[in-house]
């Protein structure tokens, strides 16, 4: 290992080894133990992760927001959801990595309360809080739940409010073996609210220790010269004739933030021919005009698409149909008005079955099969490439992920060597405006293809 690598990795290694212990010492002194403060990206200080869960037609999304926070810096977790009578949706937050073997628990025996902060966008938002222990991990109906409105007089408002729930109210809960917290949305409607600073407390007045604050890297660090990219999931506002200034604002933002690549959401009209899924790119004229301007501005633009269900083998034809639609669009247009590639954000870990040790390796292997199939489809097209997002924490991950992603002819390492996989930082951990100074931990990797901004 070179001296420059030692300077990068040894401090990170020491921080990883001692951060959990330091957190427990601080908890002992303050009377509160922080479970999630959302200032470490999409993993907490112990490596636990969170994500939305859903079944159509209901849905939920999460976003690390640096603009709505309780403190002067850091992030809160923004939750946006649509709940219908059919389906379900919500959010789960693991305290430790879910794939750990044996699983690790939080021992809350010394604590009497669960505390967290909420803020609504309209007021009146409501949800259930659910805690999972080792006994109830495989028995959903046995997990104790409590309604939010039972602990907020007047309900959620547009101001930050602390919610303090006695752990004794979660009947039947084994406090010594806590695994996960969930936010369930049982009521129909559209919701957007913010969540922050989830902690265990010995008494309601205890104050959690202050969160660590990330700092910008010094000159010469790899993070100072990273290639910036922008994921744009809402492309429609950029195409509206009555709102032309939105596109002007977008390109000015890209120039100001030194954006080199844009992953632009592609909208499709799905069809079926002879039982085979087909799809066409919607608003082709708008994409053609946008791409021509983007290339004049010096930007590379790839078509962005993906849903967790595409990772499963039976849904691979849908993923391939999306790729073929983009290739067909490119064939019909001049070079200056073509996509530079196809970019997937599939997120297989958002599938309900991913947390099950029996299904997780199968999902990961099928995910890699999907990546390989799509890559083969684009390889024959000159000037077009395929890439797929992989979050920075995804590899190396737990034992199950490592086994599925590193064995066999189609493993993550070999796929990455062929340029198909791009490391993506945790959402919200990169400066979104001038003056911000936070960088993701993945910015310290020696090989960092892209660091992205998210909107």
Kindly state the tokens that stand for 184.
């369930």
Cβ partners under 8 Å of residue 309, min gap 6:
315, 318, 351
Q: Give domain status of residue 206, yes or no.
A: no
Could you tell me which residues are beta bridge partners of residue 451? 228
Q: Give domain status of residue 45, yes or no.
A: yes
Cβ partners under 8 Å of residue 164, min gap 6:
113, 114, 115, 151, 201, 204
For residue 438, how many C-alpha atoms fall within 13 Å in the half-sphere facing its CB? 27
Q: Give domain status of residue 302, yes or no.
A: yes
Q: Give domain status of residue 249, yes or no.
A: yes
Q: Are residues 279 and 168 in the same domain?
A: no
Q: Are residues 399 and 439 in the same domain?
A: yes
DSSP codes joined into one string, 269-287:
EEEEETTEEEEEESSHHHH
The residue among 201, 235, 265 that closes a domain is: 201
Q: How far apart are CA 315 and CA 317, in angstroms?
A: 5
pLDDT above 80 for 242: no
pLDDT band at 440 (very low <50, low <70, confident <90, very high): very low
pLDDT for position 22: 46
DSSP codes joined into one string, 119-153:
EESSS----EEEEEETTTTT-GGGS-EEEGGGTST
pLDDT for position 390: 73
Q: Are residues 295 and 394 in the same domain?
A: yes
pLDDT for position 217: 46
Q: Are residues 258 and 168 in the same domain?
A: no
pLDDT for position 156: 93
pLDDT band at 47 (very low <50, low <70, confident <90, very high): confident
List the one residue out of 101, 152, 111 whose CA is nearest residue 129: 152
List the one residue out of 401, 384, 403, 392 whose CA is nearest residue 301: 384
pLDDT for position 357: 77
Q: Are residues 173 and 228 in the same domain?
A: no
Q: Write the CATH number for 448.
A: 3.20.20
Q: Are residues 135 and 280 in the same domain?
A: no
Contact 115, 77 (CB under 8 A): no
pLDDT above 70 for 11: no
Q: Specify the higher pLDDT residue, 77 or 71.
A: 77
Candidate from 53-67, 276-290, 407-421 with smallest mean pLDDT: 407-421
Place of tokens 């993506």: 424
Average pLDDT estimate for 29-33: 75
pLDDT band at 225 (very low <50, low <70, confident <90, very high): low
Helix (H/G/I), strand (E/B), else coil: 314 = helix
What domain count does the chain have?
Answer: 2
Provide the CA 177 distance to its chain's centre, in angstroms: 26
Q: Are residues 79 and 192 in the same domain?
A: yes
Q: Give domain status of residue 47, yes or no.
A: yes
pLDDT above 80 for 214: no
pLDDT band at 139 (very low <50, low <70, confident <90, very high): confident
Q: How far apart are CA 371 and CA 51, in angstroms?
A: 22
Q: Please provide the average confidence, as pLDDT, over all residues in the chain.
A: 77
Strand (E) positions, 209-353? 228-232, 259-265, 268-273, 276-281, 300-305, 341-344
Mind listing the pLDDT tens digit for each residue in 391-428? 655 544 455 554 555 444 444 444 433 334 444 443 33
pLDDT above 70 for 210: no
pLDDT above 70 for 433: no
Mind listing the pLDDT tens digit for each residue in 333-374? 999 999 999 999 888 888 888 877 788 888 888 998 998 899
pLDDT above 80 for 226: no
Q: Are residues 184 and 232 in the same domain?
A: no
Q: Give domain status of residue 143, yes or no.
A: yes
- Secondary structure letter of residue 98 according to DSSP: T
Average pLDDT estimate for 423-451: 32
pLDDT for position 329: 95
Q: How far apart are CA 240 and CA 315, in angstroms?
A: 32
CA-angle at 439, arms to 438 and 441, nearest 5°: 135
Cβ partners under 8 Å of residue 198, min gap 6:
34, 35, 36, 37, 93, 114, 115, 116, 181
Contact 426, 393 (CB under 8 A): yes
Q: Are residues 72 and 159 in the same domain?
A: yes
Q: Are residues 187 and 242 in the same domain?
A: no
Average pLDDT estimate for 45-74: 88
pLDDT band at 240 (very low <50, low <70, confident <90, very high): confident
Q: How far apart are CA 247 and CA 116, in angstroms?
A: 39
Range of 46's domain? 3-201
Place of tokens 């910015």: 443
Candidate from 95-109, 132-146, 205-219, 340-354 with smallest mean pLDDT: 205-219
Q: Give domain status of residue 211, yes or no.
A: no
pLDDT above 90 for 305: yes
> How much of the chain, in percent, has pLDDT values that exceed 70?
74
CA-angle at 400, arms to 399 and 402, nearest 5°: 65
Q: Are residues 239 and 353 in the same domain?
A: yes
Q: In angstroms, what is the C-alpha Rg of the chain?
A: 23
Considering 4-18, 50-64, 370-384, the range whose residues carry the highest mean pLDDT is 50-64
Q: Are residues 194 and 237 in the same domain?
A: no
Candidate from 14-18, 170-174, 379-383, 402-406 with smallest mean pLDDT: 14-18
pLDDT for position 442: 29
pLDDT band at 171 (very low <50, low <70, confident <90, very high): very high
Q: Write the CATH number for 124.
A: 2.60.120.430
DSSP H or E stretch at residue 406: helix 399-406
Backbone angles phi, psi at 59, to 5 degrees: -155, 160
Kindly state the tokens that stand for 386.
């395929």
The residue among 169, 201, 233 that closes a domain is: 201
Global pTM exceeds 0.75: no
Average pLDDT estimate for 235-264: 85
Q: Give domain status of residue 194, yes or no.
A: yes
């Amino acid at each position: 290992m070179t001296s420059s690598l030692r300077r990068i990795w040894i401090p990170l290694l020491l921080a990883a080894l001692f951060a959990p212990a330091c957190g427990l010492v601080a908890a002992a002194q303050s009377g509160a133990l922080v479970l999630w403060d959302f200032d470490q990206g999409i993993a907490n200080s112990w490596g636990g992760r969170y994500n939305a869960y859903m079944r159509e037609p209901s849905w939920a999304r999460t976003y690390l927001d640096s603009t709505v926070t309780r403190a002067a810096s850091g992030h809160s977790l923004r939750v946006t959801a649509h709940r219908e009578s059919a389906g379900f949706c919500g959010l789960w937050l693991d305290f430790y990595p879910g794939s750990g073997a044996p699983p690790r628990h939080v021992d809350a025996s010394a604590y009497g309360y669960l505390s967290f902060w909420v803020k609504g966008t309209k007021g009146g938002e409501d949800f259930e809080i659910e805690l999972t222990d080792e006994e109830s991990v495989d028995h959903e109906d046995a997990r104790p739940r409590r309604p939010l409105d039972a602990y907020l007089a007047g309900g959620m408002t547009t101001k930050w409010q602390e919610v303090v729930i006695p752990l004794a109210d979660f009947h039947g809960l084994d406090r010594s073996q806590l695994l996960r917290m969930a936010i369930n949305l049982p009521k129909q409607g559209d919701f957007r609210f913010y969540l922050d600073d989830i902690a265990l407390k010995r008494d309601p007045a205890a104050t959690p220790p202050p969160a660590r604050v990330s700092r910008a890297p010094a000159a010469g660090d790899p993070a100072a010269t990273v290639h910036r990219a922008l994921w744009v999931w809402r492309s429609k506002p950029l195409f509206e004739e009555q709102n032309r200034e939105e596109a002007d604002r977008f390109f000015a933002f890209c120039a100001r933030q030194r954006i080199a690549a844009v992953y632009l959401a592609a909208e499709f009209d799905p069809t079926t021919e002879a039982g085979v899924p087909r799809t066409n790119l919607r608003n082709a004229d708008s994409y053609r005009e946008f791409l021509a301007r983007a290339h004049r501005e010096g930007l590379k633009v790839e078509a962005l698409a993906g849903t967790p269900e595409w990772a499963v083998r039976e849904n691979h034809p849908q993923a391939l149909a999306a790729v073929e639609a983009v290739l067909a669009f490119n064939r019909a247009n001049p070079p200056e008005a073509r996509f530079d590639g196809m970019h997937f954000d599939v997120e297989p870990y958002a599938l309900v079955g991913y947390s099950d040790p029996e299904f997780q390796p199968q999902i990961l292997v099928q995910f890699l099969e999907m990546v390989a199939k799509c890559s083969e489809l684009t390889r024959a097209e000159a000037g077009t490439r395929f890439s797929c997002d992989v979050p920075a924490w995804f590899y190396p991950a737990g034992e199950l992920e490592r086994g599925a992603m590193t064995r066999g002819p189609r493993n993550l390492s070999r796929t990455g060597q062929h340029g198909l996989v791009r490391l993506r930082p945790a959402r919200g951990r990169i400066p979104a405006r001038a003056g911000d100074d936070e960088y993701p931990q993945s910015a310290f990797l020696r090989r960092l293809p892209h660091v992205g901004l998210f909107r």
